[in-house]
Amino acid sequence: MIKLADVWVLILLFSSAVQSADTVIHAGQLIDVTSNSVRSNVSVVITDDRIAAVRDGWISPAAGQRLIDLRGHTLMPGFIDMHVHLSGELDPPHSYSEGFYLNSADLALRASAYASLTLRAGFTTVRDLGANDVEAIKALKTAINSGLVEGPRIFMAGKAIATTGGHGDPTNGIRSDLRGDPGPKDGVINSAQDAFKAVRQRYKDGSDVIKLTVTGGVLSLAKSGDNPQFTDDELQAVVAAAKDYNFNVAVHAHGAEGMKRAVDAGIDSVEHGTYMTEEIMSLMKTKGTWYVPTISAGKWVAKLSEEEGKFPAVVRPKAAAVGPLIQDTFSRAYAAGVNIAFGTDAGVSPHGRNAEEFIFMVEAGMPVLEAIRSATLNASILLGQDDRLGSIEQGKLADLVAVKGDPMSDVSTLLSPSFVMKGGQIYVNETPSSK
């Protein structure tokens, strides 16, 4: 007679076997970003969190293997957005006062909702480039890594580094008796010595990347949207300190002079790049500097600038002037051969609509396949994670996204993923024939 305890043992053994069983995906099309080609009728085998095999043809699953039928779909590597801000979403004028009444817990819980939207939009990895509340974004990252909440893999910058009064000084616009004198810990530096302390603080905070605001910005409560805001000495010190800790350095930049100084100093990526000149493009190609365009944010702030009362008076003219230009800058940079990695600045533009950036890139002259590559292999190279992310290859993490139909003929299909897998776990599966 079988005892109840024996039944439970059998159930546990069966459950364990099911969890570790391979998954076989039959893809009608597969985007091979390493060869810039589209393959037809391909099988992908997943074991645990990794891609175990990629084979031509539709192989028959073995006993115990799960089959995901994507024969009417196009399968791609999980998308990577290299510029997001998960802890908030631009909702002026409320966005300018919420720092006075939201706690870390509020921000972390809100960010978890935005993280879920982002993952379900097909973005399995993001680079969070600046959060005023470091503990909130760090808590979210930890919760996602622990499997407590769903969201993309996060590489975080923590608090961005600015100069006094610059874009990123957290006390801009605050009444004088509340401003204080923020320093490197708060993300404000004014010397090479401060630069080293700021970078080391980010290391202490658990950051993965350094973010600088090297020119004025659109949304800060300061007059200029494009003036240079770091000296050469300060930039060189940041880059030197970052190298000591194996950090990449990403720089917010609209104006040409601040951008040029940063590229000269050896930073890794220029974000936005609105007033990028041909000289800077040439310098970026020589230095191997990446460009992360964020067209979505430019279009969004330009739209909001047309609405009366949305932005503070000092912000509205900057949004109207800068926002509409980014797509044209992207077009010129692509034509010039600058290295491009995908980024939206989601949090300025709405979360979960990250894939609209693909449409804007294609409108500006980039072929669909190259736009997808910018959000997969290119992004993984800039992130320093191309050994495990960015392409569908044996041994890499099983981060996959599929859309119904063919994005090569209709890029808008990328807005509606029907299948999303991150690290072997399925988060979206609108394929009823899968078993």
What's the pLDDT score for residue 434?
53
382: amino acid identity, one letter:
L
Q: What is the pLDDT of residue 432?
A: 65
**Which residues lie closer than 8 Å to 92 by C-beta, 6 or more apart?**
304, 310, 311, 312, 315
pLDDT tens digits, one per residue of 45-80: 999 999 999 999 999 998 889 999 999 999 999 999
Residue 125 is predicted with a pLDDT of 98
Sort 113 into a burial class: Cβ within 10 Å, 0-12 / 13-18 / 19+: middle
Tell me whether strands 269-272 and 79-84 are parallel, antiparallel or unpaired. Answer: unpaired
pLDDT of residue 21: 57
94 phi and psi, to 5 degrees?
Answer: -60, -35
pLDDT of residue 7: 37
Count Cβ atoms below 10 Å from residue 20 Cβ, excluding itself.
Answer: 10
What's the CA gap between 134 and 147, in Å, rounded?
A: 20
Answer whether 120's CB lies under 8 Å from 427's CB: yes
DSSP string for 202-233: HHHHT-SEEEEE-B--SSSSSS-SS-B-S-HH
| Beta-ladder partners of 42 | 27, 56
Alpha-carbon distances, residue 288 vs 45, 231, 283 (angstroms): 35, 22, 8
Model pLDDT, residue 369 = 98
Is the preceding omega at residue 61 within 30 degrees of 0, hence cis? no
Q: How many angstroms separate the CA atoms of 375 and 357, rounded?
A: 10
Are 41 and 58 in contact, with CB atoms under 8 Å apart?
A: yes
Whole-Å CA distances, 103 to 5, 20, 87, 99, 363: 48, 40, 11, 8, 40
What pLDDT score does 211 carry? 98
Residue 264 structure tokens:
């000269």
What is the rounded distance in angstroms from the CA atom of residue 384 to the CA atom of residue 389?
9
Contact assessment for residue 196 and residue 233, using Cβ atoms and an 8 Å cutoff: no
Whether 134 and 186 have beta carbons less than 8 Å apart is answered as no
> What is the Cα–Cα distance from 326 to 250, expressed in whole angstroms?
17
Measure the CA–CA gap between 392 and 380, rounded to whole angstroms: 12
Report pLDDT for 433.
57
> Can you give the pTM of this predicted structure?
0.93
Q: For 232-256, b where at least 16 C-beta lie within 10 A, e where not — what string? A: eebbbbbbebbeeeebbbbbbbbbb
Distant-in-sequence, close-in-space partners of 76: CB < 8 Å, separation ≥ 6 = 30, 31, 33, 372, 376, 392, 400, 401, 402, 403
Q: Give the whole-angstrom CA distance, residue 183 versus residue 204.
A: 16
Sheet holding 209-213, edge to edge: 209-213, 248-253, 269-272, 290-292, 339-340
Which tokens go with 254?
């609209």
Sole residue written with tokens 């608090």: 159
Which residues does residue 133 pair with via DSSP β-bridges, in sequence order? none
Please answer whether residues 232 and 211 qualify as being in contact, where contact means their C-beta atoms are separated by less than 8 angstroms. no
Cα 76 from Cα 277, distance rounded (Å): 34
Q: Which are the contacts of 196, defined by CB distance < 8 A and separation ≥ 6?
A: 237, 240, 241
CA separation (Å) from 98 to 12, 90, 169?
48, 11, 16
Give the C-alpha separation, 138 to 101, whole Å.
Answer: 20
pLDDT tens string for the chain (435 positions)? 444 344 333 333 333 333 445 999 999 999 999 999 999 999 999 999 999 999 999 999 988 899 999 999 999 999 999 999 999 999 888 888 888 889 999 999 999 999 999 999 999 999 999 998 999 999 999 999 999 999 999 999 999 999 999 999 888 888 888 888 999 999 999 999 999 999 999 999 999 999 999 999 999 989 999 999 999 999 999 999 999 999 999 999 999 999 999 999 999 999 999 999 999 999 999 999 999 999 999 999 999 999 998 999 999 999 999 999 999 999 999 999 999 999 999 999 999 999 999 999 999 999 999 999 999 999 999 999 999 999 999 999 999 999 999 999 999 999 999 999 999 999 999 986 554
- Convert the pLDDT of each residue in 173-206 to its tens digit: 888 888 889 999 999 999 999 999 999 999 999 9
